Structures are given as C-alpha cells and as structure tokens.
Chain A
Amino acid sequence: MSTTTTTSTRRGKAPAGEKIADWADGRLGIYGLAKANMRKIFPDHWSFMLGEICLYSFIIVILTGVYLTLFFHPSMAEVEYTGAYAPMHGVRMTEAYASTLDISFSTRGGLLVRQIHHWGALIFVAGMALHMLRVFFTGAFRKPRELNWLFGFLLLVLGCVAGFTGYSLPDDLLSGTGVRFMEGAILAVPIVGTYIAMFLYGGQFPGNDVIPRFFSIHVLLVPGIMLGLLVAHLILVFYHKHTQFAGPGKTNNNVVGMPFLPVYMAKAGGFFFLVFGVIAIIAGTTSINPVWVLGPYRPDQVSTGAQPDWYMGFSEGAIRAMPAWEWNFLGHTVNFGVFIPLVVVGILPALIALYPFFESWLTGDKREHHMAERPRNAPTRTAFGAAWISAYFVLMIAGGNDLWATHFHLSINAITWFVRVGLFVVPFLVFVFTKRVCLGLQRRDRDKVLHGRETGIIKRLPHGEFIEVHEPLPQGEMHRLTSHDQYAALEAGPSVDDNGVVRKQSLVEKLRVKMSQGYFGEENQIPKPTVNEYEEITSGHGHH
C-alpha cells in the first residue's frame, strides 16, 4: 500500500520523512488514502490469516520463480548430459531437463531456490484451499463478498494450472507422464480434441514445442492474470473490511480489532517473514521432486506410482475410478473413460464455486453480512461442505490407490471398487453425520445459555439428591451464542388464491420451498433460546 512511504514517524527523522511524504503527496495524493487506511482496523483471528499465507507464498513463489528463469532453458532440444551429476553422464535428455540438473547441482543455492519454489507452490495451493474452506464454512461468501469469492476461486483454479505447467517444465519422467496424460485427455474431447492436441503440442506428442509453450503459460500468462485477480481480491478485502466472529461489542455494522499502523503492519509484515522462514527451512531440509533420480522423459518409459501434485490428485482419482466406457458410432469414438471424469472434475469445483449464489437464491436475503457464522449455526451448508470435502477426499484416495495398496496391503482393485461406490455413498453419510453433529452442537449452545455452564462440582441437596452446579454464562457469552440469524423456512403458498383461482406455482418455486424447509425447517435447525424462555427458567425453579 502506498501508505508505507509515510510510516516513519520517529522524531529524529521526522522533518526529512515529512518532506518525502509531502513530495509524494503532491504527486500521488497519498494523504487521502493514508487518512482512510492508516489506522484501518483488522480483526484478529488465526483463520483470518490463511489468506495471508496464500499471499505470502505467492510472493515467495514469484521471487524464486524469477531466479529460476535466469538459469532454466525451456527447450526440448536433445543433448547428451555432461554436467555435474555423474549418474546421468551420457544420458540423452532435453535441455530443459539438463538445465534443471544444472540448477540443482552446479548452481550454489539453486537447489534451495528450486525447492522453495516447489514447496511454496504446494503450500500456496493448499493455503488457498484451506482459505476457501474457511470462507465457506463461516458464510463469509455472502453479500457483499460473492464476487470476491469468485476471484478467490479463480485464483485457486489458476494456481492449479500454474502448478501443473510448472511441474511439467523439467521434462522428467514423472512430469512427462503427466503431459502425456494431458494429451490423452485432450484427445478424448469430442469433435475438436484431436485438433486442440495438435495445436497445443505443435504436432504429435511430445513434439518439440510443449515445454517452451508451457513455460510461457507458466511464467507469463497465468501469473499475469493471477496478479491482476490478486490485486482485485485484496482491494475488495480492504473495501469490504474483514468479517468478524460474533462477540461482545462486535456487530454487523462495525469491525473490532487493531489498527493497521502499527499493530497489523507489524503482525502482517512479520507474518510474511515467518511464512518465508518456515518454507525456507522446509525446503532446506526436505527434498521435493528430485528430478535427477526420476530420469529424463521418454514416451516409452514409465514408473509406477506416477502421481500428479496433490491438487490434481482428485482429477487423477476420478480417472482411475472410472469404468471402461467407450462409444463407437458413425465412425467416431468417444472415450468416456476419460471424458466423463473430465466433466466430473469440472463440476465438482463448480459446485462449491457457485454455492453462494445458490444460497442467496434460497434465502432471498439481500442484506449485507459481515459477521462470520459459526459452522454449526448453518447445519445444512456445513453438511454440504463436509460432503463436498469427502467426495474430494474419496477421489484423492483413488488418485493414490497404488500407494495405499502397497502401504496398507490392500488390493488395488478393491480400493478402486471402494471409490466407485464410495464416491456416491460417503458424501451422503458425511452429510447426514455432519448435520447431526451441527444440530447437537446447537442444542448444547442452547442448553448452555438456558441452564448455564456445567462446573463439574457435584452438590448433595438436603434431601439426598445429587446435582451438578451450573453456573450462568456471562452476558457477553450469552450474547455471542444467541446473536446469530435464524431464517424461517419458506412455506408453500396456498394452492388457491383469495378469489379461489388455482395459483400456478412454478416447479422452481416449489423446489425452493422444499430446499428452504430442508435448510431451515423444524428438524433442520434448533431454535435459539429466547429471552422469555430464559427468564422462565431462571425465575422458575433454579438451575438444573
């Protein structure tokens, strides 16, 4: 932010600092921005820092990526290796692979930067996934943040694209297998697949063009778009101000926390160094993608345990679990064994990406929401999210089925069958289970408000009965547990209107009523305690 130029307020330097600030203000008008933002408030909660992990790892990945481009040759020209890594001497490989070996073995610190880049990328995508789940489960995607939710989702998708293209660049046997898979997947697209494959690979697989093309996509196209989206994402975060969890003094119309200057600047700035430090230590001590033992790519060679990086694991799983379906008709072939999983891989993320619009349609709620909800207070949403995660996990298991098979002494065929069935059964079970848990937690909150906290102290009454002493909650806590919104379910309107004419209800409207009942109906949320109930109990027969 441009406010950084005005941070120096130390007395000794003040005049010089002020002069510089005045100079900048005269040209950039920074004081206006600074006035609004210098003491901007940010709420403190660890889960609000997940986005920062993504931001910082993105910066780290860009910094290290720029370094790597200084040494990497994105070329598929074949060379006979003569570099520093003896076990590869004389092996034919592309320049891309050879230069990756050189970065790892001839450049001091090159291996470290490579590993920071790769670990940073894994953590970047993982951080985005976790950040997205945090936003989802706390309902922080609701108005006015739906667009920012989409920006974030696009960043996640582009992060995966950047990851996949980057993973392919060294042209090693593992990543080459992934590039080969991509060719097969493109060929499976009906009608245009063959043409797209020819255009992407500059001819037949593997050709001589795919690595330089992936390089352009990886270092230029995708990061460029991501940078733009990231800036938009951050501006919106600033503009909307952060959500916060309920608590005393925290309302939908304020944001409670510490000011940007100095606390948040120190914490956020410090956190950047913490993230960088942790990733550097991991990269310094833990090997990742040691391409030199994998060997250069050759289309007739392969290794077992060929997996993509984790974020593509679910797509790999969808394809592994697919039964063999292929259609031949009128001289054309559709490879459903690849095509259907590709569609699933598109639909599954789309479900979560479009969910905010579904929920806002369902509730018809046009108000702004700035309070982060507790997951238990939106049981159906939480259950849907959990079911979604479980489906993702089932596919991830399929993506590593060969490793689970060897490490847990299982049959790979049995795991595949488990996934084929589990993809449909597990999310359903998880949905039901999660919803029960949420409702149970809601009931507990209700009991806590109405009957107070269990103290663990057992008292014997004069007539011999044992009771546990309950201690009433402090007011702030009672407020926190009762301040959430509860929607009432939509009712199906009367089937005839006032004049006795049959009302036409569209199917969509009927569906909406049904869904609304499922979300907010009697069985689907526990009414939060009312003051009347509370007073009746407290004034009546004491605690229980």
Chain B
Amino acid sequence: MKKLSARRRHPLAALVVLLIALAATGGLYATFAPADKAQAQGESTSQQDKIETGKKLFTVGCASCHGTGGQGTTDGPQLVGVGAAAVDFQVGSGRMPLQQPGAQAPRKPRVYSDDEIEALAAYVASLGPGPAVPESAAYAPSGGDVARGGDLFRTNCAQCHNFTGKGGALTDGKFAPPLDGVAPKHIYEAMQTGPQNMPAFPDKSLSSQDKQDIIAFLDEVNGDEAPSEGGFDLGGLGPVAEGLFGWIFGLGALVVVAVWVAAHTAKAKKS
C-alpha cells in the first residue's frame, strides 16, 4: 500500500486516473446506450391505390415543406417534374424527410417502407414527367466495364467523391457523401437526378451504359468485398491517414522499442 501512496504522487498519476475515468465512462455509455430501433412496417398496397396512398403520405410527411401539391415553399424545392427516381433516392436513402435544417440533408436510416416509397414516388411522378426509377438491369454492377467506369468516375465524380468514393468536403459545411454501402440503384438515381447540390449527369452527357460502368467500378473498389491488396486500407483517405498512422503506430512503435533497448535492466535488488 505504501507503494501505491508513493505512486499517486507520480507526475503521470493524474493522467492515468483521467484515462481510466474516460475509458470507464465510454465503456458504460457503450453498454447502456439505447440501441437504434429499426422501424419499418410493410403494408402492401394495390397498384391502383398507389398514387392515392402516396398523396396521403405526402400530405402528412412532405407537404409542410414542399407544398400540398409539391409546388414548393420557402422551406423546400418544387417537386413537379423531379420524377420517381428523385423520390426513390431521397426517401429511399433516408435523406427525406428532413430531420433538421442544415447545410445539407445527410443519409440516415429511412423512415418509410419500400411500399410507401413506391407510393410516394408514384404520386410525385404523377405531378409532372420526370425520370422513372431505373430497372435493375440498368444498374446491376455485373453489366458494367470496370476499367472504363474507373476512367469515367475519375473524370466526372472523383473530384467530389474521392478516388474510390470515400466522399469529400464542399463549401460551407456541405459535403459529397461517401459511397460505401450505397445501393447501386441509388447511385444511378443520384447521377440521373442530381440531388441537392450534386449536379445531374443526364443520359445525353453520361449515357446509361456509362452510369452502369461507374457503378461496376464502385462495386469493385468500394464494395463490401473490395480487395485492399496491400493490407488494412486506413479508410482509403490517402496521405493524411497514412501520415497519422506512420507517426502514431510506425514511429510510436519504434520509440517504444527504443525505450526498451535503452532502459536499464532490472537490478537484482530494488533500491
């Protein structure tokens, strides 16, 4: 016990206590924090009722910002003519309905079920002509040329979304989101409709096949099975992450080794 009381005067004692306290707090929080509850309830609706159902959902969930007929208000843009693809992307990726105003709407767990999204899309599509939700044959990664997709991605997309779709910053807190784990359908729809501040890449400037090539490339380099041949990929963020890792784990490990090499060997009798 005497040892402990002597050690508590050690200059690093306060740091150790702080670290233990932080670890304990974090651990307790992680243990007891409420888990996100998935909420989704499916309810099948017949084809004819879709628009009607969509309209009801729209009036409750969307009209406050987008206007009762989708004509837009000061709080939200007009939705006439954006098409089903835009709705499927915005609602399907959880961006809409908006949780809180901010620089831009982030991706989050979606609120509506597949059927509800379909109904909403049908309703908005009925307001004016716009891009339809693409068929799965159009965006299946297997139908694309990875190498060409990479080239197209670097010309059209990488400037905002990074080499392999890890995302990046835009002005004033806006950002191009990372594309990890984004469904191919949503990637296709985003290129087609240009959500929020993303420019659109309509078929005349980036053909349907081009889009599929890009999706194939992303699936190759950014999918769940994407290989990272050289080992752990450090988030794919490039030199900043590599520099941090090099300092902390590279040089850090070597300093630890150096401390061992230079330290005096334990004496037989502790003085």
Contacts and interface: CB of A to CB of B under 8 A. Distances in A.
A complexed with B: yes
Contact of B103 (A285, A294, A305, A411): A411
A289 B255 CA distance: 24
Interface string B147-161: 110110011001111
Contacts of A285: 231-232
Interface in B206-260: 217, 220-221, 228-234, 236-240, 242-247, 249-251, 253-255, 257-259
A308 B245 CA distance: 15
B150 A174 contact: no
Nearest to B240: A400
Interface residues of B, number: 63
Interface in A497-542: none
A409 interface: yes
Contacts of B230: 104, 111, 115, 286-288, 290
A271 B263 CA distance: 13
Contacts of A284: 231
A33 B268 CA distance: 37
B250 A279 contact: yes
B5 A87 contact: no
Contact of A303 (B8, B158, B247): B158
Between A111, A287, A300, the greatest number of chain B beta carbons within 10 A of the residue's beta carbon is seen for: A287
Given A274-B257, A305-B238, A405 B233 contact: no
A286 B262 CA distance: 28
B154 A403 contact: no
A278 B160 contact: no
Contact of A126 (B221, B234, B247): B247
Given A126-B246, A278-B250, A45 B262 contact: yes
A269 to B, nearest CB: 11
Contacts of B5: 455-457
Nearest to A407: B237
B234 A287 contact: yes
A173 interface: yes
Nearest to A111: B230
Given A301-B158, A455-B6, A271 B238 contact: no
A397 to B, nearest CB: 10
A295 B151 contact: yes
A304 B176 contact: yes
A406 interface: yes
Given A126-B246, A412-B172, A49 B240 contact: no
Contacts of A289: 238-239, 242
Between B151, B155, B239, B257, the greatest number of chain A beta carbons within 10 A of the residue's beta carbon is seen for: B239
Contact of B262 (A46, A111, A283, A295): A46
B262 A44 contact: yes
Given A87-B220, A127-B254, A413 B246 contact: no
B169 interface: yes
A307 B246 contact: no
Interface string B1-38: 00001101100000000000000000000000000000
A105 interface: yes
Contacts of B181: none
Interface in A4-29: none
A88 B154 CA distance: 13
Tell me what chain A mostly uses at the interface: helix, strand, loop, or mixed.
helix
A15 B51 CA distance: 101
Given A174-B238, A286-B230, A289-B242, A123 B250 contact: yes
A410 interface: yes
A286 B248 CA distance: 13
B221 A87 contact: yes
A343 to B, nearest CB: 24
A345 to B, nearest CB: 17
A275 B6 contact: no
B9 to A, nearest CB: 5
A406 B151 CA distance: 25
A69 B246 CA distance: 24
Contacts of B148: 90
B169 A310 contact: no
A304 B159 contact: yes
Contacts of A300: 155
Contacts of B259: 46
Contacts of A174: 163, 238-239
B150 A91 contact: yes
Interface string B101-122: 0010000000000000000000
Nearest to A313: B243
A440 to B, nearest CB: 12
A402 interface: yes
Contact of A89 (B8, B147, B171, B232): B147
Nearest to A53: B254
A105 B6 CA distance: 58
B204 interface: no
A410 B146 CA distance: 34
A405 B243 CA distance: 18
Interface in A119-166: 119, 122-123, 126-127, 130
Nearest to B229: A111
Interface string B258-271: 11011110000000
A260 interface: no
B257 A271 contact: yes
Nearest to A410: B173
B154 A298 contact: yes
21 contacts: A49-B262, A87-B217, A87-B221, A89-B147, A111-B229, A122-B250, A286-B249, A287-B232, A295-B150, A302-B159, A304-B169, A309-B243, A403-B237, A403-B240, A406-B167, A411-B172, A412-B169, A412-B170, A412-B173, A414-B173, A456-B8
Q: Which 3 A-B pairs have the closest CB atoms?
A: A310-B243, A304-B168, A287-B230
Given A50-B258, A173-B163, A310-B243, 13 more contacts: A53-B255, A88-B147, A274-B254, A283-B231, A289-B242, A293-B163, A307-B240, A310-B242, A310-B247, A402-B169, A406-B175, A412-B171, A456-B6
